[in-house]
Structures are given as structure tokens and as C-alpha cells.
Structure 1
């Protein structure tokens, strides 16, 4: 079990799939969402939770004021847990669970997302992660923020040119990387920086 840290569902427990997922620790989630709250990225936001697992990231975003969260997960057992957690929280129309692989999902539609949260398996192929992040760059709103949870030993996040890295921080074996949309004229030559997302 894991729990929602703060907001309208603060303290509520979430079921976790029996295997095949890596729930984000409370410490890391608190750090991520404190930063997003501080930047006022969550209030009324449309959130996309990719590789959703138990939905801890997407439901935390909803608990803290996001207007809607779409949770994308390919594993059937994890999707069952996601739907059960959404029911238990009475999330209703605020949460949409989608059983699909991430890349096909990103390739469909063109609606922008204010916050995109990614927690891919650490053993995902580099080419697959690169393709996913390229899709994220196409779907992130102009003032949006993308957050990638990744192995700290892997080094810098492989953001595409369409996304500008703005911060990274390691928490033991986990690192959190933040990025924003590149300005159109900079999309071919994006550099890192230290601006808050």
C-alpha cells in the first residue's frame, strides 16, 4: 500500500499492483509535488500520468488541485488497480484510466497537457524512452512542465530538443528531472538551465 500525502485525499491509501511496478516513495512524491505546488502548476491543471502503475502520481495531482488526470498504463493488472483506486477515491470524471502503451497514446490526438508525469521502468530501452520523450515534447502545453522519475545512476535525462531541462535532483537511487517546452526558435538548440519549472 501507498498513500496520498496531501490535499483533499491526504492520508488515503492506494492499492499497489502486486508486481511489475515501482511505486514512487513518499519522500520523492512530496519533493515533486512541493515543487509543482510552489510553481502553481497544479491548480486547475490537466495532468497526464504515463506508466501510471498504482496512479500515485496522478491521484496526488488531483488531490492537490488538478482539474483532471489521465492515467495511462499497459499492464492489465495495474489497470485493474488503477480503476479500483479511482473508485475508492470517488474520483469520478476527474480521473480517466487508459489501458494502452504510452507511445501509441501520445501519437493520438493533439490536446495539450499542463503537467506530464513519467515513471517508466528503469530497464526501458533507451530508444523507447527517447521516442516517448519526443512524444511528450509534442503534447506538453506551452507553459507546462514535464517530470521524469529515472534512475540516478543513468545521469542526465535524455530530453529531446523540444524540451528544455530546468532542474534535476537525486534522492538515493532515484532522480527527478524537470523540463519545459523550448521556445520555437530554440527547439533545434535546447540547453539545460537552472530556471524553476
Structure 2
């Protein structure tokens, strides 16, 4: 795993064999961040990274200058890995929370985040609950939710759906509450 851009561009992070996460591929991450860099000033936004996994998304945001990142991860080994690398890389912007992402959504500050990224396990049932929970919790500050999922899933029927981007077998669906 490597950081694609920013202050830590090219930094390799070795994944230990005990991590069962599926990190977002470099190609998919690069494509996603190309889109996001045209929509956001990274140094002016607040992020929540649900299902932190390896921390790759949080690390990428921190390297690009995001000042506040909430990284949620329940698995103990993953949580320790993210914390260890956060400290080693000097990413003070990342605040890690070891809890269930669904519980965390309800406790996140209201109208606080410009972007929430969710990369749940591909085999997690009922991923649409993430979309509904985020929107009902009103934690976005006129921002967007991005859900990473397999190409076998489709969320374009959601009331909040705005677009989908595909990178091989990985897709990113974007959601926004347009009633805000």
C-alpha cells in the first residue's frame, strides 16, 4: 500500500499478514482523489472515514492536508495498525475511534462533515443502511457520502444518489441530501 499524493507521496506502508482488510486499490484511490481534488480544497474540509480498514483513505486525506479526519474501525488489529501508522507518519489530523461504524454514525457531530467515506466489507449485507443512517443522522454539512462497493451492487435507486464511478471491480457511489 502506498500514499499517492501530498506530503507523504510515494510512502510505502507494509501491511502485516494478520490484516484481513481489502485496501482500496491504488488505481481506484487515484481516480477517486482526482475527482475529489476538483471539488474540494482539502485543507478546508472535515472527513469521516467509516470502516477504516487499513487506514489508506485516511492517510491519503491527511497527506493532502485535511485537518480533521475521524477514522472509525472496530477490528482490534486494524485499529492498532491505523494508530501505529498515524503516529509514525505524524498525522495529527487523524482521530481514531474503535467502534462499530453504524453506532458511530449516530454519535458523530451534527452538520459537521464535508465528506464521509464508507468502505464496508464487500460481503456486508444491506449496505443501503449506511446511506440512510448517514442522511438521517444529519452529520453532513451540505456534504457528500461516498460508498465504495463491488461492481455487482447498484445504489442508483437511492433518493440520495448523485453519481457512480467505476474502477474495474470497484465502484464509488456518491450521495447527497439535496433537501439541505
> Who is 1:11 aligned against?
10
CA contact (8 A) 1:42 1:61 kept: yes
Would you say 1:135 and 2:142 are equivalent positions?
no
CA distance in 1, matches of 2:156, 2:58: 21
Match of 1:177 in 2: 173
Distance 1:148 1:65 in 2: 22
SS in 2 for 1:136: helix
CA distance in 2, matches of 1:57, 1:73: 12
TM-score by structure 2 length? 0.90
Give CA deviations for 1:107-141 in whole Å, capped at 9, x if unaligned: 11433211111110011111xx2332222212111
The equivalent of 1:58 in structure 2 is 58
Secondary structure (helix, strand or coil) at the match of 2:155 reads coil
RMSD: 1.7
CA contact (8 A) 1:16 1:53 kept: no
Report how far residue 15 of structure 1 moved: 3.8
Tell me the residue number matched to 1:97.
Answer: 96
Mapped partners of 1:11, 1:140: distance in 2 = 31
Runs of 5+ consecutive residues of structure 1 not aligned to the other structure: 185-197
**More off after superposition, 131-140 vs 111-120:** 131-140
Distance 2:77 2:121 in 1: 16
Task: Decide whether the 8 Å contact of 2:131 with 2:145 is kept in 1.
Answer: no
2: CA distance, partners of 1:37 / 1:150: 21
**Distance in structure 1 (CA, Å) of the matches to 2:49 and 2:104:** 12
Q: How many correspondences in the alignment?
A: 176
Q: Which residue of 1 aligns with 2:73?
A: 73
Q: CA shift at 1:96, angstroms?
A: 0.5
Aligned position for 2:123 = 123
Q: Is the 8 A contact 2:52 2:119 kept in 1?
A: yes
Unaligned runs of 5+ in 2: none
- Map of 2:31 onto structure 1: 31
Deviates more, 1:103-112 or 1:25-34: 103-112
